[in-house]
């Protein structure tokens, strides 16, 4: 039943609420420091390079291969022109979006959880489950994960509001937020139809056609760059958004099925994933079978379950898939997990939420510590900054270099056509189509390297060094950070 006792309302005031806001502020500060110092993954290199190229006037799909929806790249390009072209700018933006997603989710629990005495505690638990989640912490400041998390959380909040009002604006805003997420990464595309169907089914005010039209209008706005690119180059847009993912993404993972099975079962030995999943499942069972909560409120928790299921089905069907993709489900699982934690405390006949929340917080903090400890020796941007500085030192201005995306980005040297995304070098297309898509296959890359086209080359792969004949192609080289930089071409 709904608890509206005075003790419950008092729990959302005074010291407990101050502790919640203080904890959220501390989390945000530490997370921002991490985002600006340690956050890194090699894959983000081509996202940042794309933003840099856009800022220089080039167009994704039309001028270079970029198999992603482009909104986040345009967003980063705009801010990098205002605040500078360093990697810290996109990290800051993504980290702020991630923090926003944590705040939106915690605030939802604080406002909507039906048991008054559990509102602050539940909001704290939800914030911990998201903010200290290993993949969210590691990847939230990177690529499009932050903006997707925020768009999904905001879209959920607005959809809940839209069904209660006979207004078009909340529905349009929900569509806009879902569109922002999908237009930044298609990994979040499943959320839009779920939100729309839920809003149409549970609509309690106004007409459904108005809801549908407003949602469609809202979602179309973030996709304006995609529509514009499709008009300019329909074949290139189709290739980057659909064909590449359907046929060529798996080339770098020849045993895709085995890889996917390993990713889909990785939760078995992941304490955070197990705890979050079990609490969320328990919360859903409690809401369905035991709670006497209002039907309209139950529907909001059911929406969380549908969103988590739809996202899991979508990212789980990507070939190859990766465990980090599932971080998009975390806000919705966290809301259900609060209900699960409440049900668990009732099973142990305790109405005091302090200890259950404290135990969950400690377990998530330990899980995050384990994740960061396991990543302690992984590269950061400082490694590539040293490599880029050496490349700049030995390379004359305006001379081409053979490098990977992070070094192209840091040196601000425009890669030759076809080198904007190294993942495309295993793609074999007819020559005319390859030229249209700005793709070079590995044989053409090898020919160009051996022709002496590049003033400087670097590689961290011994097989590539031998295959391209870099040691005979260049007179000088230096080993750095597990890689080798070659310069001074042989004539």
Note the pTM of the prediction, 2 decimals: 0.94
- Alpha carbon distance 37, 32 (integer Å): 9
In three-state secondary structure terms, 459 is strand
Burial 225-244 (b: 16+ CB within 10 A, else e): bbeebbeebeebbebbbeeb
pLDDT band at 319 (very low <50, low <70, confident <90, very high): confident
Listed range (71-75, 225-229, 351-355, 420-424) with the worst mean pLDDT = 351-355
- Looking at residues 471-487, what average pLDDT do you find? 94
Give the CA radius of gyration of the chain: 25
pLDDT band at 342 (very low <50, low <70, confident <90, very high): very high
pLDDT above 90 covers a percentage of the chain that reads 85
- Tens of pLDDT, residues 204-255: 776 888 999 999 999 999 999 999 999 999 999 999 999 999 999 888 777 8
- Tens of pLDDT, residues 163-202: 988 889 999 999 999 999 999 999 999 999 999 999 999 9
Spatial contact of 139 and 378, defined as CB atoms under 8 Å apart = no
Structure tokens at 178: 């879902």
- Alpha carbon distance 273, 291 (integer Å): 25
- Tens of pLDDT, residues 398-455: 899 999 999 999 999 999 999 999 989 999 999 999 999 999 999 999 999 999 999 9
Q: Say which residue the tokens 């995050």 belong to.
A: 368
- Alpha carbon distance 208, 202 (integer Å): 10
Cis peptide before 32 (omega within 30 of 0): no
The pLDDT, as a whole number, for residue 13 is: 54
The pLDDT, as a whole number, for residue 12 is: 42
- Looking at residues 94-114, what average pLDDT do you find? 97
- Alpha carbon distance 214, 231 (integer Å): 24
The pLDDT, as a whole number, for residue 42 is: 87
Spatial contact of 301 and 284, defined as CB atoms under 8 Å apart = yes
Spatial contact of 145 and 41, defined as CB atoms under 8 Å apart = no
């Amino acid at each position: 039943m709904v608890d509206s006792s005075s003790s419950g309302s008092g729990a959302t005031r005074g010291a407990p609420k101050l502790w919640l806001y203080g904890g959220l502020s501390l989390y945000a500060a530490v997370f921002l420091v991490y985002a600006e110092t340690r956050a890194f993954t090699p894959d983000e290199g081509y996202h940042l390079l794309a933003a840099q190229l856009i800022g220089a006037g080039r167009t994704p799909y039309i001028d270079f291969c970029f198999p992603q929806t482009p909104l986040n790249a345009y967003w980063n390009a705009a801010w990098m022109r205002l605040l500078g072209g360093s990697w810290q700018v996109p990290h800051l933006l993504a980290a702020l979006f991630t923090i926003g997603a944590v705040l939106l989710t915690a605030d939802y629990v604080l406002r909507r959880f039906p048991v008054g005495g559990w509102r602050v505690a539940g909001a704290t638990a939800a914030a911990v489950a998201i903010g200290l989640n290993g993949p969210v912490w590691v990847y939230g400041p990177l690529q499009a994960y932050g903006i997707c998390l925020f768009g999904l959380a905001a879209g959920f909040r607005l959809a809940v509001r839209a069904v209660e009002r006979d207004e078009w604006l909340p529905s349009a805003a929900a569509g806009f937020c879902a569109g922002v997420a999908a237009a930044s990464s298609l990994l979040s595309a499943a959320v839009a139809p779920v939100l729309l169907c839920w809003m149409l089914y549970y609509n309690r005010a106004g007409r459904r056609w108005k809801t549908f039209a407003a949602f469609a209008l809202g979602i179309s706005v973030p996709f304006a760059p995609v529509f514009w690119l499709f008009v300019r180059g329909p074949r290139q847009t189709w290739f980057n958004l659909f064909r590449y993912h359907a046929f060529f993404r798996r080339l770098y993972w020849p045993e895709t099925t085995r890889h996917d099975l390993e990713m889909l079962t990785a939760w078995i030995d992941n304490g955070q994933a197990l705890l979050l999943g079990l609490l969320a499942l328990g919360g859903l069972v409690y809401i369905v079978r035991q709670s006497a909560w209002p039907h309209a409120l139950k529907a909001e928790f059911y929406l969380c379950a549908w969103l988590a299921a739809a996202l899991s089905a979508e990212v789980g069907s990507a070939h190859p898939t990766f465990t980090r993709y599932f971080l998009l489900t975390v806000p919705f699982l966290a809301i259900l997990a609060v209900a699960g934690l409440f049900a668990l405390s009732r099973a142990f006949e305790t109405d005091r939420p302090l200890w259950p929340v404290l135990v969950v917080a400690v377990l998530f903090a330990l899980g995050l510590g384990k994740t960061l400890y396991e990543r302690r020796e992984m590269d950061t941007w400082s490694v590539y900054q040293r490599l880029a500085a050496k490349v700049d030192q030995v390379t004359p201005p305006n001379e081409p270099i053979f490098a990977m995306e992070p070094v192209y980005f840091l040196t601000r040297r425009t890669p030759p056509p076809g080198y904007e995304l190294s993942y495309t070098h295993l793609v074999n297309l007819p020559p005319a189509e390859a030229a249209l898509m700005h793709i070079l296959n590995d044989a053409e890359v090898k020919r160009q390297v051996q022709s002496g086209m590049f003033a400087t080359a670097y590689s961290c792969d011994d097989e590539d060094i031998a295959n391209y004949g870099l040691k005979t192609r260049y007179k000088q080289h230096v080993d750095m950070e597990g890689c080798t930089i070659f310069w001074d071409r042989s004539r």
